[in-house]
Structure formats: structure tokens, C-alpha cells
Chains A and B, each alone.
Chain A
Amino acid sequence: MITKDDIWIFLPAYNEATVIRGVIKNLKSYGYENLVVVDDGSSDNTFKFSKEEGVRVLHLSLNRGVGAAVRAAILFAKKKDINFMVFMDADGQHFPSEIEKLVNELQKQRADIVIGSRFLELESKIPFSRIVYNKIASVFTYFGKSTITDSQSGFRLLNKKAINNLDLNIDGYGICTEMIWKANSMKLNLVETSIKVQYTEYSQSKGQNLWKGIQTAFNLLKNILYEH
């Protein structure tokens, strides 16, 4: 039985001062107390506001990309011997109520990683540019012999086995695909479950878009060439 105290929630954040307080309060209202904001070198008040909300903050002094924030979070989890970690976007597009869905799927399927998929059942209105971005990124995910429908989802649950075994290298958005590739190559049990998301004007102005999709695809390609 996994309780809320067993779960640590990590919010990779870059210049999210506008929404970070609300996101933290929302998570706390659902009874999640183990919250860590991974501040990826924000130039606004993300760090200050997160501290004021009384959560732990992993502060990257330079903006190194979401991949670096995820890697920092995983290393932190390894150090603290955390059993379950959840990654959520800090822009408030994910619902805390959906964490339970991921946990249930993890227990039901004895999974090591559960990815919240926006495309498994189209429950939310997703902007066209995000759909295109995901399709481009998915092409690269398929190279890793994965059939995950939402390879770029930032809503993920990892168990201890995944935390201890994943050794990620990419700094940017390509980390989502790299995690799937490496999980597959390590024979970790990777499953997905459908989630709802809310796209506000704010969240659409942040995060991924078509241009970033192309950049991510090129970065992935460069990383493959660079590493092999």
C-alpha cells in the first residue's frame, strides 16, 4: 500500500513565479507534503515564493534546461532513498487528483515507471502545436522500440528501481524520450495511463511548441551521435 507520505513530488520550474504558489497550495490541499521545487536557474521569484510556501527547493544556479532539473531531482531522490517520485509540470497543467491514478496503475501493473498520457484517451483539449510536437518527438521514441503514446508528458511516477537505475544525460526536453529509451533498454516495466490536463493561456505560453519540438528532435539526434 502506497501512502501519500511515501510519494515525493518534484516540480521542475523555470520562471514560474506567477503560478508556483498556487500549484504548491493545490498539491498540499490534496495531502501531499513531500514537495520539492527544482528551480532551474529562474530569474524571477520562483525560488523565493517556493521557499515562502515552506517546500524544499533544489536550486540550480544556472538555467540548464528541464533535463538537468530532472537529473538533479533523480540524484536527490537517490541520496534521500526515496521510494516513489512523481514529476509534474510546475505551470499547473497537471491535476494533483491524477497522482492517485498513476499510483494505482503502478501497483496494478507492478510497473517501475508510469507515464500520464494525454493521448491515450483524448479527455482534454490539447493545442494543435502540442500535438504536432508530440508526434515529432514520438518518431524518435519509436526508435527506442517504445509505443508510448505521450512520450513528452512531464507527468511521471518512478519507483525506487527506476530511480536507482536510470542514468540520464540530456539537459533539455529530450530527457523525456531518453528516459523511455533507457527504461526500455534496462527492461524496466514502463506503462502509461490516461490523464487530464488543463491548458491555460499561461501554460500555453510556456513549455513545448512546434519549434521546440524540432529543436528537441535535433538535440536528441546530436546526443545519439555524440554518445555513440
Chain B
Amino acid sequence: MNIRTFQIVVPLLAVIFIFWQFWKIYNFKIKLKAIWPGILVAFFISIIALFPDVTTNWLAKTLDFKSNVNAIIFILIGTLFGTVIILYDLYKRQQKTITKLTIELSLIVADKDDVDS
């Protein structure tokens, strides 16, 4: 079996990415629940890169697509859609946290004003 360049480069990049994510956890910059979607995508892409024909043919057969390219496009669009939902969820959580902190700060300042006066 001939090993093509992308079969080395893509899994290598995926491993670096996964390692980088775990490094961020190790340094308390991020939580485990925030990295699993990225790790899943990286893992999935590296599997496709390692076994392109077997994986895509299996996907096409499972999803009942005539072409394996269509199956991959379908999966990637689904992944993109899922990522948008996850990002939106994160964004909403951040917004809520910002509001909560802003309100708390305003109440602390109001208390301080009362004490000062």
C-alpha cells in the first residue's frame, strides 16, 4: 500500500491539535467539556485521511449515498451545523455570565455608595 502525503500530514496535524487541547486543560485554560467536539472532528478527519476509501465507502453505504464524496459532504455539513449550535450555546452562556457579573458589580458599588454616604 502506497502511503500518500496527506495520510501522514492530516493525522499528524490532528494529533498536534488534540495534544494542544489537552495542554490547555493541563494549564487550566479550558475545561474538558469544551474540547470534545474539536477532538471528535479531528479524530474523524484523521480516520478518513488514514483509510480514505474504506471509510468513505462505508459511510456512503451506511447513509445510502451513491457517491462517497456526497456522503462526506453530508457529514461535514452536519458537523458544521452542530459546531454552529455548540458555538451559539457557548456564546449565550458567556453573555449570561457577563450580564450576571455586571449586575453583581452594580449592586456591590451601590452598597459601597451607601456605606460611604
Contact = CB atoms under 8 A, between A and B. Distances in A.
Q: For chain B, what secondary structure do more than half of its interface residues adopt (helix, strand, loop), or is it mixed?
A: helix
Contacts of A226: 89, 92
B102 A56 contact: no
A75 B99 contact: no
Given A64-B98, A64-B99, A72 B113 contact: no
Given A171-B95, A226-B92, A60 B102 contact: yes
Contacts of B27: none
A66 to B, nearest CB: 12
B103 A61 contact: no
B105 interface: yes
Contact of B103 (A56, A57, A75, A222): A75
Contact of B107 (A64, A75, A169): A75
Interface residues of A, number: 21
Nearest to B114: A56
B92 A60 contact: no
Interface in A142-188: 169, 171
A62 B98 contact: yes
A71 interface: yes
B92 A58 contact: no
Interface residues of A, dominant DSSP: mixed
A58 B95 contact: no
26 contacts: A38-B106, A56-B110, A56-B113, A58-B107, A59-B106, A60-B103, A60-B105, A61-B102, A61-B105, A62-B98, A64-B103, A65-B99, A68-B102, A68-B103, A71-B99, A71-B103, A72-B103, A72-B107, A75-B107, A76-B107, A76-B110, A79-B107, A79-B111, A171-B96, A171-B99, A226-B89
A68 B110 CA distance: 16
Contacts of B111: 79
A72 B92 contact: no
Contact of A64 (B89, B102, B113): B102
A65 B96 CA distance: 12
Contacts of B92: 222, 226
Interface in A40-74: 41, 56-62, 64-65, 68, 71-72
B109 interface: yes
Interface string B25-63: 000000000000000000000000000000000000000
B102 to A, nearest CB: 5
Nearest to B93: A226
A68 B105 CA distance: 12
Given A171-B95, A226-B92, A58 B102 contact: no
Given A171-B96, A222-B92, 9 more contacts: A59-B109, A60-B102, A64-B103, A72-B103, A72-B107, A75-B103, A76-B107, A76-B110, A79-B111
A76 B104 CA distance: 10
